[in-house]
Amino acid sequence: MRRPVIVTTKHRGVFYGYLVSQQNQADGGLSVKLEQARCAVYWGTTKGWLELAHTGPTSKSRIGAPADIELRDVTSVADVTSVAEAAWKAVA
């Protein structure tokens, strides 16, 4: 199930990482576990946040350091293209 995704939360978080599991919360929400997750602090895109899933972060994007995390209150999970995955991997 490990696949590259962009995850958003109801707390306005936008994260890239490798989805390893997802689980329904007791309150009806969704939680996910990501490996090598990175927070998009500022995405600097011209076509909205889904551009992060389509082509990856831009040179104007501000991306946090990687960590394995669990996110709660997930509002969306978007699959990442191979082009975008390469761009995410290239972020210093």
**CA distances from residue 27 to 20, 21, 33 in whole angstroms, order as listed:** 21, 18, 18
Structural domains of the chain in order of their starting residue, each with its CATH number: 3-90 (2.30.30)
Alpha helices in the chain (DSSP H): 51-54, 82-90
Separation CA 70–CA 87 (nearest Å): 23
pLDDT in tens, the chain (92 residues): 689 999 999 999 999 999 999 999 888 889 999 999 999 999 999 999 999 999 999 999 999 999 999 999 999 999 999 999 999 999 97
Separation CA 21–CA 62 (nearest Å): 26
Q: pTM value?
A: 0.93
